[in-house]
């Protein structure tokens, strides 16, 4: 029995090594993107989070493991074919989309290796942490542009509303706000995409770990967007007020401008936690009512 388990582990370890090579074999590798891009710093944490989730449920996941050649091997082969296809798209795709396709092929290859080594029952039991690895895939540019645009539109409207509440005289033309001493434009850098992605991933993990009802999980996950937009608007207005009444440099430099996203991320995380608490409490009350 132990020998069979060791053989499975060795096979899956070899497949995992190949999968890592697949995403790091090109000149634009995933590690470089994660460390250099302002959008994808979370990539480094995804394997750790997924690994922890698998480890915590390892007894249930790997109980009665069986090889599954009929599903696992075709997926492994599909991953290889996708990788070969992606390798020849370097001249037609931008670096982000090229790496997105390469990472997707490696993930298909790796998932096939998991099913091949441990079987479909283990894959179903580990479905969430396995699919969670998809957050390692760089978001295709077309989709990323749409997400950023939605965040910009929402942040602009929230900013407009909050400026109206502050009483500061201002005028607006599209994404540009004219204040007494400064003019600000809500551009891509103001979208808060990085912290919004982090909040979205946090919401998905929290929903999986703490909630049982499907529709309550959906409520928590969909609440991330308005929370992220509110957070962005608060940051923009706070920096603008400081620039108007304290120092104009607040809007162009300083800690709050460069790294203040984390400061505003904490209240957003707290608001998400409050919604989670309410949903979790309602689930407990429902259980008590049935009891």
Contacts of residue 55, defined as CB under 8 A and 6 or more positions apart, other chains included, come to none
CB 268 within 8 A of CB 227: yes
- The DSSP string of 111-130 is HHHHHHHH-HHHHHHTHHHH
- Looking at residue 290, what is its pLDDT? 53
CB 142 within 8 A of CB 95: no
Q: Say if residue 8 is in the same domain as residue 112.
A: yes
Report d(CA 234, CA 127) in Å as an integer: 37
Report d(CA 113, CA 75) in Å as an integer: 8
Q: Say if residue 125 is in the same domain as residue 147.
A: no
Q: Say if residue 85 is in the same domain as residue 150.
A: no
Report d(CA 50, CA 95) in Å as an integer: 26
Q: Say if residue 85 is in the same domain as residue 18.
A: yes
Angle, CA of 38, 50 and 8, to the nearest 5°: 135
Which of 77, 99, 134 is the last residue in one of the domains? Answer: 134
Q: At 276, is the pLDDT very low, low, confident or very high (cuts 50, 70, 90)?
A: very high
Which of 112, 134, 156 is the last residue in one of the domains? Answer: 134
pLDDT digits (tens, 9 = 90+) for 83-112: 999 888 877 888 888 889 999 999 999 999
Mean pLDDT of the chain: 86
Looking at the chain, the number of H-run helices and the number of E-run strands are: 14, 3
Contacts of residue 137, defined as CB under 8 A and 6 or more positions apart, other chains included, come to 100, 103, 104, 107
Q: Write out the E strands in 9-66.
A: none
Number of domains in the chain: 2
Q: At 76, is the pLDDT very low, low, confident or very high (cuts 50, 70, 90)?
A: very high
What is the sign of the dihedral through the CA atoms of 150, 154, 159 and 160? Answer: positive
pLDDT digits (tens, 9 = 90+) for 170-206: 888 888 898 888 888 888 777 788 888 989 999 999 9
- Looking at residue 63, what is its pLDDT? 87
Q: How many beta carbons lie within 10 A of that of residue 131, not counting itself?
A: 13
Q: Say if residue 194 is in the same domain as residue 260.
A: yes
CB 168 within 8 A of CB 241: yes
Q: Say if residue 147 is in the same domain as residue 97.
A: no
Q: Give the range of the structural domain holding residue 151, as residue numbers without chain letter.
A: 143-290
Q: At 28, is the pLDDT very low, low, confident or very high (cuts 50, 70, 90)?
A: low
CB 184 within 8 A of CB 170: no
- Looking at residue 5, what is its pLDDT? 58
Q: Say if residue 115 is in the same domain as residue 36.
A: yes
Q: Say if residue 67 is in the same domain as residue 166.
A: no
- Looking at residue 32, what is its pLDDT? 72
Taking the alpha carbons at both ends of the chain, their separation in whole angstroms is 42
Q: What is the DSSP letter of 252?
A: T
Q: Write out the E strands in 143-281.
A: 171-173, 176-178, 183-185
Phi, psi torsion values for 173, nearest 5 degrees? -140, 100
- Looking at residue 265, what is its pLDDT? 85
Q: What number of residues does the chain have? A: 291
């Amino acid at each position: 029995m132990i020998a069979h388990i060791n053989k499975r582990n060795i096979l899956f370890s070899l497949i995992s090594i190949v999968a890592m090579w697949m995403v790091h074999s090109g000149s634009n590798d995933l590690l470089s993107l994660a460390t250099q891009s302002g959008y994808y710093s979370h990539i480094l944490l995804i394997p750790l989070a997924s690994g922890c989730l698998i480890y915590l449920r390892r007894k249930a996941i790997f109980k009665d493991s069986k090889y599954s050649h009929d599903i696992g091997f075709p997926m492994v082969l599909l991953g290889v074919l996708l990788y070969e296809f992606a390798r020849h798209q370097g001249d037609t795709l931008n670096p982000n989309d090229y790496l997105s396709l390469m990472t997707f092929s490696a993930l298909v290859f790796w998932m096939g290796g998991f099913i091949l080594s441990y079987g479909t029952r283990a894959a179903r039991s580990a479905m969430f942490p396995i699919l969670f690895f998809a957050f390692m895939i760089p978001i295709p540019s077309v989709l990323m542009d749409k997400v950023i645009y939605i965040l910009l539109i929402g942040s602009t409207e929230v900013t407009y509303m909050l400026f109206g509440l502050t009483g500061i005289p201002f005028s607006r033309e599209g994404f540009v706000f004219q204040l007494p001493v400064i003019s600000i434009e809500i551009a891509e850098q103001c979208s808060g995409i990085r912290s919004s992605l982090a909040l979205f991933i946090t919401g998905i993990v929290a929903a999986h770990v703490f909630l049982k009802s499907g529709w309550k999980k959906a409520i928590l996950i969909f609440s991330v967007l308005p929370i992220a937009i509110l957070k962005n608007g608060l940051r923009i207005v706070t920096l603008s007020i400081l620039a108007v009444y304290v120092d104009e440099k607040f809007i162009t430099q300083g800690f709050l401008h460069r790294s203040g996203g984390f400061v505003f991320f904490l209240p957003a995380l707290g608001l998400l936690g409050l919604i989670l608490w309410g949903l979790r409490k309602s689930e407990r009350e429902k259980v008590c009512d049935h009891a």
